[in-house]
A and B are shown apart, each in its own frame.
Chain A
Amino acid sequence: MFEIFGIPSQALFGQLLLGLINGSFYALLSLGLAVIFGMLNIINFTHGAQYMMGAFAAYLLLHHIGIGYWQALVVAPIVVGATGVVIERLFLQHLRKLDPLYGLLLTFGLGLVIEGLFRNYYGSSGLPYQVPQALQGGRNLGFMFLPNYRAWVIVLSFSVCFATWFAIERTRLGSYLRAATENPVLVRAFGINVPRMVTLTYGFGVGLAALAGVMAAPIYNVSPQMGSDLIIVVFAVVVIGGMGSIMGAILTGFALGIVEGLTKVFYPEASNTVIFVIMAIVLLIRPAGLFGRSA
């Protein structure tokens, strides 16, 4: 055991790890928001509820059908993503010609409906979800204890973020997507089904949120309001990073998680608010965000 700046290394690295975990969720969620925003030009206020639905999907799959964590990791995002596709077809596609404000209001309302329904059936207390057998326990790294599941969350989140970045920035499909973001009319004229792409993009963004929810289930309790507070922090992350770049959203997410973890060590009272304070500072000195293009 040694000390850094008068803080025991265990505490410091422990909080750093927690920060990295939070950062994993910030990154996944802000990535989803950025992808959706790019194609649909709306901020998906339902994102928090969809993250919660992912966690509940994992819980329900386990307790009603007996489908475990590993399968849930695939099934839950697909199921919740499918509900996203329905939402886009039923509601969002009709708002395309209106002020983006209405997309905001609609997704906000949908979030309330979903949260209300879950609270109605499952109450507000959290439901436990076991860490999968293979990832129980942890290892001692000498300077700190690393629970296996947490390491897995960080690795998985990082891989998914990187894969998404690669798919959007480096593949042919991604180039269609980026082109359609720039000029949907022209891309349509080339014979690409842009409305379907928009629908699937929304479904994908929602699926990312649900995946984050499944990953969060064993760490936090599964509860109906788990998404609403988290998503507000993610909004601040998005404002700080700016939504111009996919990589920007990922990096900002991880970085802010770490900053939050460090704040917990050095000045715990501010740990709830440090991200909002950083947002205010960024707005003062770089209004477009760290990676944003000025509108």
Chain B
Amino acid sequence: MERVLDPSVLPSRRETGLSLGAAFAVMLAVFVVGPFVLYPVFLMKALCFALFACAFNLLIGYVGLASFGHAMFFGWASYVAAYAAKSWGWPPELAIIAATAAAAVLGLVAGGLAIRRQGIYFAMITLALSQMMYFYALQAKFTGGEDGIQGVPRGHLFGLFDLSREMTMYVFVLVVVLAGFLLIYRIINSPFGEVLKAIRENEQRAISLGYNTERYKLVAFVLSATLAGLAGSLNALVFQLASLTDVHWTMSGDVLLMTLLGGLGTVFGPVVGAFVVIGMQNYLAPFGQWVLVIQGTIFVVCVLVFRRGIVGELAHALRVRL
């Protein structure tokens, strides 16, 4: 992976704290003002995908593992949450916890298999496993096949807050997404996160230093899958729907695009990328298949001339970490 920052211009710790704090304040302000300016459902969707992309970035940006199968965690968690909330009548908090746990288990199995091969094989294995889970979703009874699970009740959070009210739901989604965001920030700045970055830079060296890199990679994979599942279960409650779209490989492509466009291995990049891509899909929807062409073009342009991504370029220009 290309290094995002040149060590010679690495900002001091205090500067880093300042720039990150300022960026976080800006982001928070946008999220607070947002629902008064834009459709709350659109914002909630973007928030869910921001969390999804941050979870994805944990793996690709900080461990250097490119998964092409993250749709399986997002999509299957949304199925579990939708089923628990609708058919079992579980309250939203329990449905989300169950779905997130399911994603963690799936992550453990898929990750355990995928990390047995390195590099590009990893991408192919995750893609293949995710396609397998897509077919299970297509065939299984409880997913509702082509129809998906529709009309999922949002319910009352802790029996108190009525989530069918748009603003209440928005606040709930915002709180969960911010919690996930801060958790990921905490992880990448922990000693564990430092080891992950060491594996990204040079796995052989990390092994020679005595780290069991396979185990680190597996834990990172499971964390990423779990948080992707959290995002998926939230998304299912927002739209009151779990469908095949969420488990299809194009979803894995979308989250990859968000992360790449925002900036691989940056803190805020995936959030920005998610908002840009979701916004684009929203406003370009009338143009049909051109969306696919435009997304593909963005991939190509990003790889050729824009590898740092939006936030990465900004950080580079301002010589700060973002």
- Of the listed stretches B186-194, B215-223, B238-246, B300-308, chain A binds B300-308
Instruction: Report Cα–Cα, A283/B113, bound state, in Å.
Output: 6
By a CB distance below 8 angstroms, the chain B residues around A288 are 117
Most chain A CB neighbours (cut-off 10 Å) among B60, B129, B297, B300? B300
Is the pair B64, A101 in contact by a Cβ cutoff of 8 Å?
Answer: yes
By a CB distance below 8 angstroms, the chain B residues around A113 are 292-293, 296-297, 300
By a CB distance below 8 angstroms, the chain A residues around B249 are 228, 232
Is the pair B296, A109 in contact by a Cβ cutoff of 8 Å?
Answer: yes
A133 at the interface (CB under 8 A from B): no
A42 at the interface (CB under 8 A from B): yes
B108 at the interface (CB under 8 A from A): no
> Chain A, 41-71, contact with B by CB distance < 8 Å: what is the 0/1 string?
0110000000000000000000000000000
Is the pair A120, B290 in contact by a Cβ cutoff of 8 Å?
Answer: yes
A141 at the interface (CB under 8 A from B): no
B96 at the interface (CB under 8 A from A): no
Known: A116-B289, A235-B127, A269-B139. A287 touches B132 (CB 8 A): no
Known: A42-B120, A239-B121, A277-B132. A102 touches B303 (CB 8 A): yes
Instruction: Report Cα–Cα, A111/B132, bound state, in Å.
Output: 21
Instruction: Report Cα–Cα, A69/B113, bound state, in Å.
Output: 43
- Among A109, A269, A276, A284, the residue within 8 A (CB) of B128 is A276
Is the pair B304, A106 in contact by a Cβ cutoff of 8 Å?
Answer: yes
By a CB distance below 8 angstroms, the chain A residues around B116 are 283-284, 287
Q: Which residues of B122-137 are within 8 A (CB) of A?
A: 123-125, 127-129, 131-132, 135-136
Q: Which residues of B283-313 are within 8 A (CB) of A?
A: 288-300, 302-304, 307
What residue in chain A is nearest B252 (Cβ atoms)?
Answer: A108
Counting contact residues on chain A (CB < 8 A from B), the size range is: 35 or more
By a CB distance below 8 angstroms, the chain A residues around B256 are 105, 108
Is the pair B128, A236 in contact by a Cβ cutoff of 8 Å?
Answer: yes
By a CB distance below 8 angstroms, the chain B residues around A256 are none
Known: A112-B299, A116-B289, A119-B289. A100 touches B120 (CB 8 A): yes
By a CB distance below 8 angstroms, the chain B residues around A229 are 131
- Min CB distance B126 to A, Å, is 10
By a CB distance below 8 angstroms, the chain A residues around B131 are 229, 232-233, 236, 276
By a CB distance below 8 angstroms, the chain A residues around B253 are 108, 112
A159 at the interface (CB under 8 A from B): no
Is the pair A104, B123 in contact by a Cβ cutoff of 8 Å?
Answer: yes
Instruction: Report Cα–Cα, A272/B300, bound state, in Å.
Output: 31
> Interface size of B by Cβ–Cβ distance < 8 Å?
47
By a CB distance below 8 angstroms, the chain A residues around B64 are 99, 101
By a CB distance below 8 angstroms, the chain B residues around A43 are 120, 123-124
Interface of A is mostly: helix
Q: Which residues of A263-278 are within 8 A (CB) of B?
A: 269, 272-273, 276-277
By a CB distance below 8 angstroms, the chain A residues around B136 are 273
Instruction: Report Cα–Cα, A239/B303, bound state, in Å.
Output: 25
A94 at the interface (CB under 8 A from B): yes
By a CB distance below 8 angstroms, the chain A residues around B129 are 276, 279-280
Is the pair B117, A235 in contact by a Cβ cutoff of 8 Å?
Answer: no
B260 at the interface (CB under 8 A from A): yes
Instruction: Report Cα–Cα, A101/B118, bound state, in Å.
Output: 11
By a CB distance below 8 angstroms, the chain A residues around B175 are none
Known: A119-B292, A273-B132, A287-B117. A105 touches B125 (CB 8 A): no
Instruction: Report Cα–Cα, A269/B141, bound state, in Å.
Output: 13
Is the pair A109, B303 in contact by a Cβ cutoff of 8 Å?
Answer: yes
Q: Can you give 25 contacting A-B residue pairs, CB < 8 Å?
A: A42-B120, A100-B120, A101-B120, A102-B303, A104-B123, A105-B260, A106-B300, A108-B68, A108-B256, A109-B296, A109-B297, A110-B300, A112-B296, A113-B297, A120-B293, A228-B249, A232-B249, A238-B124, A272-B138, A276-B131, A279-B125, A280-B113, A287-B116, A288-B117, A295-B118
| Chain A to chain B: the 6 pairs with minimum beta-carbon distance, closest first | A109-B299, A116-B292, A112-B296, A113-B296, A276-B132, A116-B293
**B contacts, CB < 8 Å to A:** 1-2, 60, 64, 66, 68, 113-114, 116-121, 123-125, 127-129, 131-132, 135-136, 138-139, 249, 253, 256, 260, 288-300, 302-304, 307
Q: A236-B128, A239-B117, A283-B117 are in contact. List 12 more A-B contacts (CB 8 A).
A: A100-B119, A101-B60, A101-B66, A104-B120, A233-B128, A235-B127, A239-B121, A239-B128, A273-B132, A277-B132, A283-B125, A295-B117
